[in-house]
Amino acid sequence: MNLPLITHAQAHSEKIAIATKVEAFTYQDLLHTSSQIATVLLNNTEDLQEQRVAFLIPPGFEYVATQWGIWRAGGIAVPLCISHPQPELEYVITNSAALIIIAHPNFETLLRPIAQAQNLRFILTSETLPDDVSRLPEIELTRRALILYTSGTTGKPKGVVTTHHNIQSQVISLVTAWEWTASDRILHILPLHHIHGIINVLTCALWAGAECHMISKFDAETVWNRICEGDLTLFMAVPTIYVKLIAAWEAATPERQQRMSAGCAKMRLMVSGSAALPVQVLEKWQNISGHFLLERYGMTEIGMALSNPLHGERKAGYVGKPLPQVEVRLVDESGELVAPGIPGEIQVKGPGVFLEYWQNPQATAKAFQDGWFCTGDLAVVENDNYRILGRLSVDIIKTGGYKVSALEIEEVLRTHPDIQECAVVGVSDLEWGERVCAALVLQGSQLLTLESFRSWAKERLAIYKVPTRILTVAELPRNAMGKVTKPAVVELFC
């Protein structure tokens, strides 16, 4: 059978699917190019049979056609992050046991050595695609489709595996709740190795037959210029981006501010997610745009679970109610349901919940309780609306919409020749939600500047994991058992 996503695209063949700064591509272009890419991937075989295909391509038509080509050939898509340093890319490629790497020419020098060292097939997006298209395999919805890497409490990121059925369920839930239609136009500015960008924006748009306008890199002025054109109907971003857009609006002339606000007023919906939205940011954005941002809650493992309503009252600081097809409950430490008004851990059940952590059955088993996925997030229900209170673990930091593991960062920092001990914490921050900070105990009488420290760390960690503040201490605060007390470390930065 054809994947329903493909069938939907066939119904919109002449419509624009993907638009970039320089070119627009129809659904027919997407169908044709993805079938050519699938043909290259199959390489005279009948079916990739869930082979992992890692790909590193900037946002745009080639990214989407490649993702679809992997799916249509029967492979599992493993998107890589364009801003990650080589060690992080290598970890994902190795952990997912990818057999094929597809790269844009810009990333050839970064990825070809990994492919050669691991004896993997290496394909550049600049290679000529075949005129003749192979017969493509039938893809069952139960097949694995996507592996996204997310930080957990155990250090190294885990591969979250979703099936085509999981993805379809996540998309239908959002398309229903937010009333996507083929006449929608959305500006895509989010990372494409993250569920927010891949599912909420890209796949929902393409499922609905809408237009997805993509820019290669976030830039506040570029985004505002596009909004000023006045033809967009939807916009989704993380709080950090709204903070940057507010700053650009405040720096603009009164005439330009008027055009910016008018562009926002033409949209039907603006959404914020991936991190808590500070109330003052929500209020400033409302004054600028006329939109009371719709906040929602989700994560890589579950897609979106909770949302404020499209129609009806939205409450600042709340993430609304369960989305269609999603069950949510709050439980205490012993797994018992809590009463309204009492904080509990969010647990989620539904067809959109992921299949497994890649080749990690212990972590998968530990993540579920009686069929419910344990999110590790604490919330309370007040007036029928959920309010997120934070993480159960102090070792998970939410920064700029990304969830990062303090333990993973600490592991890397301990390899620095001048660092004897370290403790990484998230410190509350208006722009980033939480800022990654590190308290360091240095060897002997060494000195370490923030600049040299960050330069060293950027070669080993994704930029959003690199601490933006460091503090040198004689010793780390510990409890009677000798364990580092993270709340006391946070106090050092306040």
Helix (H) / strand (E) element for 63: namely helix 61-72
pLDDT-flagged residues of the chain (< 70): 1, 152-155, 480-482
Residue 31: both structure tokens together: 């169908």
What's the CA dihedral at 155, 202, 86, 449 to 10 degrees? -70
CATH topology for 396-493 is GMP Synthetase; Chain A, domain 3 (3.30.300)
Question: Residue 72: enclosing H or E segment and its boundaries?
Answer: helix 61-72
Pairing of strands 294-299, 100-103: unpaired
E strands, 392-453, are 396-399, 402-405, 419-429, 433-442
Q: Report the relative pairing of strands 158-163 and 356-357 from DSSP bridges.
A: antiparallel
pLDDT of residue 443: 84
Return the exposure string of 7-23: e unless at least 16 CB atoms fall within 10 Å of the residue's CB, then b. Answer: ebbeebeeebbbbbeee
Q: Which pLDDT value is given to residue 154?
A: 62
Tokens encoding 169? 């369920």
Give the three-class secondary structure for 427: strand
Closest CA to 88 of 96, 122, 397: 96
Separation CA 488–CA 479 (nearest Å)? 10
The ranges assigned to domains in the chain are: 396-493
C-alpha closest to that of 261 among 290, 239, 282: 290
The span from the CA of 437 to the CA of 487, in Å, is 12
Q: Give pLDDT, residue 487.
A: 87
The amino acid present at 104, given as its one-letter code, is H
Q: CB-based burial of residue 378 (10 Å sphere; 0-12 exposed, 13-18 middle, 19+ buried)?
A: middle
Indicate the Cα dihedral angle 54, 57, 58, 59, nearest 10°: -70
Distance separating alpha carbons of residues 160 and 186, to the nearest angstrom: 26
Beta-strand relationship, 100-103 and 52-56 = parallel
Q: What is the 3-state secondary structure (H, E, C) of 330-356?
A: EECCCCCECCCCCCEEEEEECCCCCCE
35 vs 29: CA distance, rounded Å: 10
